[in-house]
Amino acid sequence: LMPLNSTALSHPPYFLLTGIPGLEKEQFWIGFPFCIMYIIAVLGNTTLLLIIKAETSLHDPMHLFLAMLAFTDLVVSTTILPKMLGIFWLGSGEIGFQSCLTQLFFIHTFSTVESGVLMAMALDRYFAICWPLRHSSILSVPVVVALGSLVLARGVILVSPVCFFLRRMPFCHHHIVPHSYCEHMAVVKLACGDTRLNAIYGLFVAFAVIGFDIILISVSYIMILRVVLRLPSTEAHLKAFNTCASHVCVILAFYVPALFTFLTHRFGQSIPSYIHILVANLYLLMPPTLNPIVYGVRTKKIWDRVV
């Protein structure tokens, strides 16, 4: 006989993702706009990567960070969309235990990476506007690569314990995940053991990442605003604001649904589950879709290469 705490007994062979609870009949049609968003995300971010790689004049900090953002968006959208469309269109909700943990790892790691890249881009704008003469020396290519590596390492180091904790937890016989993908808290709620450590660590990671990055982004833009308002001409004001406008749009598209999803998962029990799941899906799909459009249209060098 196998011991009761063995992996074979404590881990279900698969989980069953339900899609969007409450919208089971409508989710077939919801899959079509999601598919269009995914196609735009793949084509747009791939185009950005190819243009930045081919054009040596774009090998500056801003566009290197943009390339990191495009790669991150490709990973996040590809991690969730094919499986999600399989649920919506084919009813294929089964996902193996290890595959679920892998999806969870990539989603949360690269969401953390995206937040870090947005923070690094805010620092880049700060140095470009507030210290224009020292910008290239402060943010040299090796420094940009090092920042990107640190952001990736931070994501891996912070999210890996989440998967380790889940592997050690018993899941009994309950294996239905009321979500479109393997989100951390949605999976944790299926465990029949003590989940306080997972919940506390999840809160710590969320506050550590989002809190730290939002503070740095806010400080960067407060300093930028102070410098811009001291500029002598209206034309200089408009040029500086135009430089930052695209980044601010991307920041809002990422953090607003992220904070809504995070807070409703823990404190918004009165909010219908289908609204929470839809926003959680858009939180991972909107930035990859919007980023190449916003930067492709508003960044002159990239737009010139496209047209």
Does any domain span residue 176?
yes
User: Is the torsion defined by CA of 87, 92, 97, 102 positive or negative?
Assistant: negative
- Is residue 277 predicted with pLDDT exceeding 80? yes
Does any domain span residue 9?
no
Backbone angles phi, psi at 115, to 5 degrees: -60, -40
Whether this model's pTM surpasses 0.85: yes
The pLDDT value recorded for residue 224 is 85
Does any domain span residue 7?
no
User: Is the torsion defined by CA of 31, 32, 38, 42 positive or negative?
Assistant: positive
Contact 67, 48 (CB under 8 A): yes
Contact 45, 73 (CB under 8 A): yes
Does any domain span residue 4?
no
**Alpha-carbon separation of residue 192 from 47, 64, 75, 130, 173 (angstroms):** 46, 45, 31, 53, 9
The 10s digit of each residue's pLDDT in 184-226 is 888 888 888 778 888 888 888 888 888 899 999 989 888 888 8
The mean of the pLDDT values for the chain is: 85
The 10s digit of each residue's pLDDT in 16-62 is 999 888 888 889 999 999 999 999 999 999 999 998 888 888 888 88
Does any domain span residue 8?
no
- Is residue 244 predicted with pLDDT exceeding 90? no
- Read off the amino acid at residue 251: I
The pLDDT value recorded for residue 299 is 62
More confident site: 1 or 303:
303
- Is residue 101 predicted with pLDDT exceeding 50? yes
- Is residue 300 predicted with pLDDT exceeding 80? no
135 HSE (CA, 13 A, CB side): 16
The pLDDT value recorded for residue 6 is 45
Q: Give the rounded percent of residues in the chain with a pLDDT score beyond 90.
A: 36
Distance from C-alpha of 127 to C-alpha of 136, rounded to nearest angstrom: 9
- Is residue 2 predicted with pLDDT exceeding 50? no
* CATH number for 146: 1.20.1070.10
Q: Identify the CA nearest to 47 among candidates 294, 295, 292.
A: 292
Does any domain span residue 101?
yes
Task: Round to the nearest angstrom and report the end-to-end CA distance of the chain.
Answer: 68
Q: Identify the CA nearest to 68 among candidates 176, 146, 179.
A: 146
Domain span holding position 51:
14-300
Q: Indicate the pairing of strand 14-17 with strand 94-96.
A: antiparallel
- Indicate the DSSP class of residue 182: -
Contact 114, 73 (CB under 8 A): yes
Q: Indicate the pairing of strand 94-96 with strand 176-177.
A: unpaired
The 10s digit of each residue's pLDDT in 55-94 is 888 888 888 999 999 999 999 999 999 999 999 999 888 9
Does any domain span residue 216?
yes
Contact 279, 28 (CB under 8 A): no
Distance from C-alpha of 299 to C-alpha of 245, rounded to nearest angstrom: 11
Does any domain span residue 219?
yes
| Backbone region of residue 6 per phi and psi (left: phi > 0; alpha: psi in -120 to 50; beta: other values) | beta
Identify the residue whose tokens are 């737009």: 303
SS (H, E, C) 53-116: HHCHHHCCHHHHHHHHHHHHHHHHHHHHHHHHHHHHHHCCCEEEHHHHHHHHHHHHHHHHHHHH
Work out how many domains the chain is built from and give that number.
Answer: 1
